[in-house]
Amino acid sequence: DTGVSQDPRHKITKRGQNVTFRCDPISEHNRLYWYRQTLGQGPEFLTYFQNEAQLEKSRLLSDRFSAERPKGSFSTLEIQRTEQGDSAMYLCASSYPSGSSGANVLTFGAGSRLTVL
Amino acid sequence: GNSVTQMEGPVTLSEEAFLTINCTYTATGYPSLFWYVQYPGEGLQLLLKATKADDKGSNKGFEATYRKETTSFHLEKGSVQVSDSAVYFCALTSSGNTGKLIFGQGTTLQVKP
């Protein structure tokens, strides 16, 4: 168990470019979550998957944001036409299924920091 | 919807001082409550949790008790160390069965030698 891995750790891009972040969850976890964290704030929920199904999306997730988890394993978060307001830390977390003893305990990755110039 | 409010920081203490970070919540139903910690340059780590009223979560000398009557989950430690300097986040599960957590804004703790 190597924990939750995120890649890249840092991304600097110019306004208007597209960026993609990848998350590899803990292999036994079937739930996967994306959060966004800006400086001095707590993480804000973006979206969540159970296996390959995207079951909830926050209103924070504009049309420029899309997330996938095609085989129920790793997930990607793509931001199209980036804006300076997208600059933040993007966090991925995973957890065991509902009903298991570890349910509701989210294990976080180290995050992917995005800077939009 | 469910929400959580933490005391604002930063909190600055001398080593071996007593720590309290206040957290109150608003929720429907019976959420689980958590404290996560974020050390400089690292990801969020679970510190402790409580799943029902009157439960006490504890870890690494930190404690928090789930108080339904006051809707609180205050974090305490009897004697802080410099290595406890970090940002602490209170969180609760949202309504429904998604496992999604809702976080407070975080409280920065600085412990001076």
Res. A66 pLDDT band, cuts 50 70 90? very high
- Give me A89's structure tokens: 């830390």
| Mean per-residue pLDDT, A67-83 | 95
| Mean per-residue pLDDT, A14-32 | 95
B112 or B95: which leads in pLDDT: B112
| Mean per-residue pLDDT, B46-53 | 94
Q: Quickly list DSSP for A65-88.
A: EEEE-TTSS-EEEEE-S--GGG-E
Instruction: For residue A32, list its beta bridge partners.
Output: A49, A94
> Which residues in chain A are contacts of B34 at CB distance < 8 A?
105
Contact B49 A42 (CB under 8 A): no
Cβ atoms < 10 Å from Cβ of A56? 16
The C-alpha of B103 sits at a distance from chain A's nearest C-alpha, in angstroms, of 6
* Model pLDDT for residues A80-105, shown as the tens digit of each residue: 999 999 999 999 999 987 666 666 78
Q: Looking at residue B65, what is its pLDDT?
A: 98
Q: Looking at residue B97, what is its pLDDT?
A: 77
**Is pLDDT above 60 for A1?**
no
- The pLDDT mean for chain A works out to 93
- The pLDDT mean for chain B works out to 94
Among A93, A104, A108, beta carbon nearest to B93: A104
Q: Which residue has the tokens 């891995």?
A: A5
Q: Quickly list DSSP for A11-65.
A: EEE-TT--EEEEEE--TT--EEEEEEE-TTS--EEEEEEETTEEEEE-TTS-TTE
Contact yes or no for A69/A25 (Cβ under 8 A): no
Question: Which chain B residues in 35-54 lie under 8 Å from chain A, judged by CB atoms?
Answer: 36, 42-46, 49, 51
Q: Looking at residue A103, what is its pLDDT?
A: 64
| Mean per-residue pLDDT, B4-26 | 95
Q: Which residue has the tokens 């071996």?
A: B16
- Give me A76's structure tokens: 């990607």
- Residues in contact with A75: Cβ distance below 8 Å, sequence separation at least 6, in sequence order: A22, A23, A25, A32, A34, A49, A67, A68, A69, A92
Res. A49 pLDDT band, cuts 50 70 90? very high
Contact yes or no for A54/A42 (Cβ under 8 A): no
Q: What number of C-beta contacts closer than 8 Å exist between A and B? A: 56
pLDDT more than 90, % of chain B? 81
Interface test with B, best of A5, A23, A104, A113 (most B CBs within 10 A): A104
pLDDT more than 70, % of chain A? 94
- Give me A117's structure tokens: 């110039």
B57 touches chain A (CB under 8 A): no
